[in-house]
Amino acid sequence: MDYQTSNLDSARADAGSAERRQATRYTSLIRSAKLVCSKGEFVCVVRDVSETGISLRSFHALPSDDRMELVLQNGLRYELNMVRMQDLVASFTFPASVDVEQLIVETGKFPKRQLRVEVSLPTSVTTITQRFSGDIRNLSQQGALLDCEAMFAIEQPLQIEASGMPKVRAKVRWRQDNSYGLAFDNHFSLSEFALLAAKLQCPELLQG
């Protein structure tokens, strides 16, 4: 075998290896999601995914937990095992096989919606003339689900105050019995939302 043939075979082998890596690994998959564990629900960004694992960027330290799930915006859930975390970038493996294409395009039974974090947060609700007590049941960057015995009208402006959360103004978008969907006048950025979710559920993750 001459030198040129050897180089050609080597180049073909390298190209084949690259194609195989590309077939199983997808990079620059920037998408918000949440990690769910016994300590709560925490906002993250999916960076890349393969058939065996996934890389996520967090906005704070993550809790150590034997069981974690990645939940996408369409409700798809994937069990994860953490491998390592460095500089807020965490690597996980999938303990079971996953449909990578489904994860990437987020196909499923339900459409994508705002990323929500489930909480139970005692809340003070103020109108122009009165103040009421309520509970926030979930939060997103754009709004919240509020339980309150008071009767509010659609589009009624409210001021929401809760411990650990900045005071926000919102409007009622929908109601069902004593539950109200609120839209904030000013939205949280993704990083603000992620840090708020950690502060409300597991503030020790923000230390250090």
Model pLDDT for residues 88-137, shown as the tens digit of each residue: 999 999 998 888 888 877 665 656 678 999 999 999 999 999 999 999 99
C-alpha distances out from residue 130 to 165, 167, 188, Å: 21, 16, 26
pLDDT in tens, 25-79: 554 567 899 999 999 999 999 988 888 899 999 999 998 887 899 999 888 899 9
Residue where a domain stops, chosen among 82, 105, 128: 105
Q: Is residue 95 domain-shared with residue 155, that is, in the same domain?
A: no
Range of the domain at 42: 26-105
Q: Is residue 197 domain-shared with residue 132, that is, in the same domain?
A: yes
The CATH number of the domain where 130 resides is what? Answer: 2.40.10.220
Q: What is the pTM of this model?
A: 0.82
For residue 24, the tally of other CB atoms under 10 A from its CB is 12
Please tell me the total count of domains within the chain.
2
Rounded CA-CA distance 140/200 in Å is: 13
Tokens representing residue 176 in the block: 């069902």
Token pair 């919240």 in the structure block, residue: 144
Query: Is 21 inside a domain boundary?
Result: no
Q: What is the pLDDT of residue 6?
A: 47
